[in-house]
Amino acid sequence: MKINRFLLIAGFIATLAHAQVSTIAVLEIVPSGDMELKLSEYRHLTDELRARAREALPRSGYTVLTRDNILSLMPPDTEEAQCLAESCAVDIGRAIGAEYVTQGFVGEFSGMMTLTVELYEAISGNLLGSFVTESSTVMGLLKTIREKAPDLFKTISQTSSNKPTTQPTKQKKETENRSLNFSFQPSIRIGLNMAFMKLLILDEEYVDGDYIDVEKEIDTDNSIGFHAGITFDFPLVDIGIGIFSLQPGIIFTQKGGIWTDEYFEEGYYGDYSGKSEVTFSINYLEIPLVASLKIPINESLAVRANAGFYVAFGLFGTLKNEYTECYIDECESYSDEDDIFKDFKNLDYGLSFSGGVEINNFYVGVAYGLGLCNIFTENQAEVTNRSLSFTLGYNF
């Protein structure tokens, strides 16, 4: 789902940023005449041109639209679609709210491949600069982009610094507002949990002829569960190295742990031994809210670092006890199972730390949940949740 960023938080972002951000649209490089390259080659040349724009311009004042940004901002109109096919750079720039726009063509001259790249100011239609090159290979065209594109894009900042400070016209205001276009992005998440519990219990130890109370901290064994749900990404501001956003969500998740205890005692007539295994299983509806920093690597790859908190509401769960007791050579086993919320609270909260990689629309990540709430109802022990989660996701 795409939602106009201006309608959401344009006023807030303008106040927060205290600066005007100019938008640059680098349109796809297309063939001129009968020259035909592979689609992947055209895209790679365009990606290289966008990368040079990002390097040449300060991120605090300029935003370079991605390929998906440009396509999503195009009005659903047949005339605009025809214009895109014909690479009418200035008209496209105005249509999507970009202040500056480039177009590029690959052609043929005397048996050589040619590349022409032109940079326009969208509102005025003025040509700010261009470069032309010839090469016998695509790699030669790529090399020229790397050499000449930085100087081409630097003319934008030079042009901007020479402009007089005036009140923007109505058309320019509308263009600036349209350039503030953030996507409100839902994502599905599903994955595996390795959950355990941290137990702080009071126990008795026999010391110097007397029993004393001692605190013992025990980590249960892992219990395997899963999680599934949806998150929402609300981008707020470009902080230079990446986009800062908030991510609330609704997640069904399974937590718990397995506590195993064994004992052995020598008796006058024979030895006693026993083993107990307690399995805690709790199913929660979890509401996370994390701050996320998305750091783009290239057009299709980005890294995310997240930190925040969560509140979880217990839905259902079980507390299962399995015992085995042995006396001499005879053993007896039995078990019981009960509703876990007879002894445990159905509210939990804590901190969440996660990171991951986005490849196009797919997300792969890992997260650690640090429970801060004592979920045990009795005074003789404290129990908190922990979980290590591995997640796969898809961003719409």
User: Domain-by-domain residue ranges, the chain?
Assistant: 5-179, 185-395
Residues 117, 49: Cα–Cα separation, whole Å = 9
CATH fold of the domain at 5-179: Rossmann fold (3.40.50)
Give the model confidence (pLDDT) of 62-72 as tens digits: 888 888 877 77
Are the beta carbons of 194 and 387 closer than 8 angstroms? yes
Q: Band of the pLDDT at 5, cuts 50, 70, 90?
A: very low
- The amino acid that residue 376 corresponds to is F
169/94: higher pLDDT: 94
Residue-level pLDDT at 172: 43
Residue-level pLDDT at 315: 96
Are the beta carbons of 280 and 256 closer than 8 angstroms? yes
Residue-level pLDDT at 202: 72
Look at residue 80 and give its three-state secondary structure. helix
Q: Is the pLDDT of residue 182 over 60?
A: no
Q: Band of the pLDDT at 77, cuts 50, 70, 90?
A: low
Give the model confidence (pLDDT) of 280-318 as tens digits: 999 999 999 999 999 999 888 999 999 999 999 999 999
Work out the percent of the chain whose per-residue pLDDT is above 90.
43
Give the model confidence (pLDDT) of 377-392 as tens digits: 988 789 999 999 999 9
Q: Band of the pLDDT at 160, cuts 50, 70, 90?
A: low
Q: What is the mean pLDDT of residues 181-194?
A: 83
Residue-level pLDDT at 265: 72
What phi, psi does 331 have (nearest 5°)?
A: -125, 145
Residue 348 has a CB neighbour count (10 Å cut-off) of 23
Q: Band of the pLDDT at 97, cuts 50, 70, 90?
A: confident
Residue-level pLDDT at 181: 44
- The amino acid that residue 72 corresponds to is S
Find which of 5-9, 40-44, 200-204, 315-319 is predicted with most confidence, using mean pLDDT: 315-319
Computed on alpha carbons and rounded to an integer, the radius of gyration of the chain in Å comes to 31
- Give the number of C-alpha atoms closer than 13 A to the C-alpha of residue 16, restricted to the C-beta side: 10
Closest by Cα among 59, 123, 54, 117 to 90: 123
Residues 32, 44: Cα–Cα separation, whole Å = 17
Classify 185-395 by CATH class.
Answer: mainly beta
Q: Which helix (H) or strand (E) holds 10?
A: helix 5-17
Q: Is the pLDDT of residue 78 over 50?
A: no
- Give the number of C-alpha atoms closer than 13 A to the C-alpha of residue 197, restricted to the C-beta side: 26
* Mean pLDDT rounded to a whole number for the chain: 82
